[in-house]
Structure 1
Amino acid sequence: MTHTDAEVTAETLDRLIGRARRSVNVALTGSAGYVEAVLRRLVQVPSGVTVRVLCNPAALDVAPARLRSLPTVRVLRHELCGIVVVDGMSAFLRLGNEGAADERAAVVTDRAAVSTLQLLYAGAWSRGRRLVDHPEPSPRLRSELTRRILEQLRSGRTDATAAGALQVSLRTYRRHVAEIMRELEASSRFQAGVRAVELGLLHETR
């Protein structure tokens, strides 16, 4: 277990993924450095190796085009831990909170521990949604105003209260809500909230 930086992460991933002979299972978080390091190495994996990539919406935001170019990618809207499991025999595991000063990582080679990580990955993978079925939100849906309106909808505030909080007229607020629901293809405000979480526009409440 060591303190990590971009160089250490890249070197470690090069060493582990470079040994792959059968499979590479990856879970990507929204850390740009980690996502970039993994994707750079994956393009060099031999064609006979099975590669599966599971990412959350934040990771998808980092490199959407490259992730969409990979053959087997799924999106899971829950928080993920950064993991790379190679051939079911070794693993790279990111530890700690995103961006923490003491961010660390572990290289795991104990067979029982790697087997457990593989099982956890398989469970998360089974709940993931195929990337081809995960629509890319429009720039309008990614705007700061849309995020604030979605937060107001989730809080359950009345339209008048929400419009006041956003400092817009009631008519303008309702127009924005209607446009958001139309783009999300939602028939109710509750459904709009669910779709917003699925697309990573809102974080899931706990």
Structure 2
Amino acid sequence: MTGAVIDSPGTDRAQDTARGDHAAHVEQTLLQARALIESTVSLYRKRPAGGPEGTHTSVAVLRGTLNELLGEARHTVCVALTSADEFSATVKELLTEVPPGPHVRVLCATAVADGSLARLSAAGGSRFEVRCSEGQLRDTVVVDGARALIRAVPGVDSGAQATLVTDTAAVRALELLFAGTWSRCRRLDDHLALGPRLRSDLSRRILERLRSGQTDDVAARELNVSLRTYRRNVAEIMRELGASSRFQAGARAVELGLMQQE
């Protein structure tokens, strides 16, 4: 008879420690990548405009740069879109013209998550993926890990400027940051299937309190709603998630990307 192999408690602790070290390393790497990106954007923005790595403000000019970037794609295209504006519409239009071959991944904010991206994904088949993020994004297009276009935050960084980046380290950092965000986001189809209630800020805050194990009384006070209203919202959230318990609701929320996994 073959005996079962059982890991000792020491082995479990060692594995937990290794996983913790790996998670800490990934988090530190992403923070370093973000710092590198921000410093690179600032450096490039100080350069005189007009060169191949200049700063562009007109969407019409950006269209030409984007068209050139996407037309050169051979392996991967990573796109992050933050708002439903002319820039986003231009990017989505040009994505339909990307030649067959490269794998396209689009990460969009909830304001951009609509049927047009779903149709774009369906037309692109398996090589075209779209995910939705509740977190902060910056309009970005990265092609083949070699070149990238980063758009400034409208109203914060000198209007709606965009910078073409060809520095290898900066572009790789952008790819790393994109990949880290991508892994934590939900598929567009899953997002569109969610009811409006589940996409609301109140539902997210309630789910966070359910996960932390707060009592209904404490959670209701923190959210400034009556206990009756809080419990009614909990029941409706559980029903929309198809959950039979609060624990199951939390697990389902993480699965759908409504909350980040701890």
Pairwise same-fold verdict (TM > 0.5):
yes
Going from structure 1 to structure 2, the CA distance change for 1:40 and 1:178 (only over 3 Å counts) comes to: same
Q: 2:64 matched to 1:11?
A: yes
Instruction: Structure 1 unaligned segments of length 5 or more: list them.
Output: 164-169
User: Deviation at 1:3?
Assistant: 5.5
Q: 1: distance between equivalents of 2:58 and 2:76?
A: 26
The count of residues paired between Structure 1 and Structure 2 equals 191
Over the matched positions of the two proteins, sequence identity in percent amounts to 44
TM norm structure 2: 0.56
Q: What is the deviation of 1:106?
A: 0.8
CA contact (8 A) 2:113 2:192 kept: no
Cα distance, 1:6–1:25 mapped onto 2, change above 3 Å: same
User: How many Å apart are 1:28 and its aligned residue?
Assistant: 2.0
Higher RCO (CA < 8 A, seq sep 6+): 1
Matched, 1:89 2:146: yes
Tell me the distance in 1 between the aligned counterparts of 2:145 and 2:69: 12
Deviations 1:106-157 (A, max 9, x none): 1101222222222222222333333345452224556xxx656776886822
1:114 aligns with 2:171: yes
Q: Which residue of 1 aligns with 2:89?
A: 36
C-alpha RMSD over aligned residues: 3.8
Report SS of the residue matched to 2:150: strand
Rounded to whole Å, the distance in 1 between the matches of 2:63 and 2:248 is 42
SS at match of 1:156: helix
Residue in structure 2 matched with residue 162 of structure 1 by the alignment = 225
Q: 1:183 aligns with which of 240, 254, 258?
A: 240
Point out the more displaced range, 148-157 or 15-24.
148-157
CA contact (8 A) 1:88 1:114 kept: yes
Amino acid of the structure 1 residue aligned with 2:180 = G
Cα offset for 1:162? 1.7
Report the CA distance shift for 1:147/1:89 in structure 2 as closer, same or farther (over 3 A).
closer
- Partner amino acid for 1:50? H
Which residues of 2 match residues 1-206 of structure 1 at below 5 A? 1=45, 2=55, 4-61=57-114, 63-66=116-119, 68-69=121-122, 70=124, 71-96=128-153, 98-100=154-156, 102-134=159-191, 136-139=193-196, 141=198, 156-158=219-221, 162-163=225-226, 175=232, 177-186=234-243, 187-188=245-246, 191=249, 195=253, 198-199=257-258
Q: CA deviation at 1:51?
A: 1.1
Query: Hey, which of these two has a bigger chunk of helix by percent?
Result: 2
Go from structure 1 to structure 2 and tell me whether the alpha carbon gap of 1:83 and 1:151 turns closer, same or farther (over 3 Å shift).
same
Unpaired segments of 5 or more residues in structure 2? 1-44, 46-54, 210-217
Aligned residues of 1:152 and 1:162 also touching (Cα < 8 A): no
Aligned partners of 1:92 and 1:105 also within 8 Å:
yes
The letter for the 2-side match of 1:123 is: G
Q: 1:136 to 1:68 in 2, by over 3 A?
A: farther
**TM-score normalized by structure 1?**
0.68
Deviation at 1:39, TM superposition (A): 1.0
Partner Cα distance (2:180, 2:204) in 1 = 30
